[in-house]
Structure 1
Amino acid sequence: MIKSPSYESNDKKCIIFDLDGTLVDHFVAITQSIHHVQNILTLPISTKNEVITAVGGGIELTLERLIGKKRVTVALPLFKEHIEKNLLKGLFALPGANWLLENLYASGKKIAVLTNKYGPHSRAILDHLELSKYITANFGTGDTPYRKPHPKFTEHLLSTIKASPQDSLFIGDSPFDYASANALSIPCHMVTTGSHTAKQLKLETRASGYHKDLYELGNHCFNLQLPDLTRSN
């Protein structure tokens, strides 16, 4: 799945992460909130896999894909009300997230999150998972007029943390992440822990590498020694 070793990523001073499907799995709460909407509107219930496939570009686009554009105006406040009350339900950090962020932080990297999730929710999620301590900046929808893959969204993030595209690396799990990086010529590595398989990502992107998880990415891109995952706690 991976290409040849790319330890040159160690030269990058700023590492930008997507959130859903890259650092965290928030699909339980998202799926249940979409089911809540579909029940109220007496619509067919989407499977979890259908929801995962539809995620990307923001909740408005996700709802449009699942229930149709004409229903989004009615559905959006129903979704927001439900997920606000159930934001942390089923939430967990993806394998390797804490390990990778801790190591990158210790090496002096600036770490940022750029997501199409509502900004306050993104920050609350990382606070709950105790990952915010590694993050220099965390921007989501509502924080600016923009969203991925608009280049001004990424430019705003870089300006805030005083970083440049040349010094940065983008890590994500969807074509939206690749497009965000590519718009500013930022190298992009992808993990297959979110909405797209490796085969799908390779068809839709030209990323610098594709990885089964953050452990593989950390070892491949930053030459980090893998922890002993067989050791019991």
Structure 2
Amino acid sequence: MIILFDLDGTLIDSTEAILESFRVAYETQGDTVPESELIKAEIGHPLDAMFSTLGVAEERVWDYVDAYKMHYRTISCQKTVLLPNAREAVELASQYATLGVVTTKTAKYSIELLEHLGLMQHFEVLVGREDVENPKPHPEPIQKALEALPKGAKKIWMVGDTCMDMLSAKEANVIGIGVTCGYADEVNLINCTDYIHSNALEAVRFIANR
């Protein structure tokens, strides 16, 4: 069995680090910082898409992304925490499945975060934004992760907190499980998948009994 996890809103809470890095990016560019709720509504999308949606002109997006990353890498570890029951979820899942991470965060920073949080040793693969041409909801990130894992798994699951995770799973012929501990609107998430649980631990317990 294989279980793939999203990061933000599924296993970790890096809201403080994300909001602070967005603030620094906008201030560095001499721009007005959007309201926090508008930024939070975009978490889970690639950074360039987030800035575009928030109104940054196409020709300036990557300046904002670079400013964001310069700050984020200095604060991400100390301003990111595991969500409740996330450690227990990963440790339980590792007892009966091969694990991977599929995220739109930068892989380098994601690996550093998971090492800092003491969980990276449980994952056999981590696919981040720079590893693919097409991020979630495209199936490529999941497909890329599965290419690096043992073949022949009877069941493959994707645990995530957004419809992007669920759509990516569906297109990759993987079973999606939505968790409501993250950033997506619960009503929308219900419409994206057949399985909904309150957090990653509940999802992992459900998978164990399937």
Q: What's the TM-score, normalizing by structure 1? A: 0.82
2:110 is paired with a residue of what secondary structure? Answer: helix
List runs of 5+ in structure 1 lacking aligned partners.
Answer: 1-12, 224-233
CA distance in 1, matches of 2:112, 2:47: 17
Partner of residue 108, structure 2: 120
CA shift, 1:212, in A, is 1.8
- 1:218 corresponds to 2:166: no
Query: Percent of counterpart pairs with the same letter?
Result: 24
Would the aligned equivalents of 2:159 and 2:177 in 1 still touch at CA under 8 Å? yes
Q: Show the 5 A alignment for 1:35-74.
A: 35-70=23-58, 71-74=60-63
**Judging changes above 3 Å, is the alpha-carbon distance between structure 1 residues 147 and 166 closer, same or farther for their aligned structure 2 residues?**
farther
CA distance in 2, matches of 1:163, 1:193: 31
Partner of residue 159, structure 1: 147
Q: Show the 5 A alignment for 1:1-233.
A: 13-70=1-58, 71-107=60-96, 109-163=97-151, 167-203=155-191, 205=192, 207-223=193-209
CA distance in 2, matches of 1:51, 1:166: 38
Partner of residue 9, structure 1: none
1:142 is paired with a residue of what secondary structure? Answer: helix
**Judging changes above 3 Å, is the alpha-carbon distance between structure 1 residues 37 and 144 closer, same or farther for their aligned structure 2 residues?**
same
Q: What's the TM-score, normalizing by structure 2? A: 0.90
CA distance in 2, matches of 1:188, 1:48: 29
CA distance in 2, matches of 1:173, 1:193: 7
CA distance in 2, matches of 1:221, 1:127: 25
Cα deviation, 1:157-202, whole Å, max 9, x if unaligned, reads 1111124585201100111101110102211111112221311212
1:22 is paired with a residue of what secondary structure? Answer: coil
CA distance in 2, matches of 1:77, 1:102: 34
Q: What is the RMSD of the two structures over their aligned residues, measured on CA atoms?
A: 1.8
CA shift, 1:50, in A, is 2.0
Q: Which amino acid aligns with 1:95?
A: P
Moved more, 36-45 or 112-121: 36-45
CA shift, 1:55, in A, is 1.4
Q: Which amino acid aligns with 1:110?
A: T
**Judging changes above 3 Å, is the alpha-carbon distance between structure 1 residues 45 and 137 closer, same or farther for their aligned structure 2 residues?**
same
CA shift, 1:77, in A, is 1.3
CA distance in 2, matches of 1:27, 1:89: 12
Larger Rg: 1
Would the aligned equivalents of 1:158 and 1:164 in 2 still touch at CA under 8 Å? no
Moved more, 84-93 or 145-154: 145-154
